[in-house]
Amino acid sequence: MDEHVVEIHQLDFSYNGQPVLQNVEFALKKGDFMAMIGPNGGGKTTLLKLMLGLLTPERGVITVLGAAPRQVSHRVGYVPQDIHINKAFPISVMDVVLMGRLRPGFGGLRHTRRDRRAAYHSLDRMGMADYAERRIGELSGGQIQRVFVARALVTRPELLFLDEPAASIDTRGQQEFYQLLEALNQEITIILVSHDLMAV
Taking only the tens of pLDDT, the chain with its 200 residues reads 458 999 999 999 999 889 999 999 999 999 999 999 888 888 999 999 999 999 999 999 999 999 999 999 889 999 987 666 777 788 899 999 998 887 654 445 667 888 889 999 999 988 899 999 999 989 988 888 889 999 999 989 999 999 988 777 777 778 888 888 888 999 999 999 987 777 66
User: What's the distance, CA 89 to chain centroid?
Assistant: 23
Strand order in the sheet with 189-194: 33-37, 189-194, 159-163, 76-79
- Look at residue 29 and give its three-state secondary structure: strand
Distance CA 166, CA 69 (A): 25
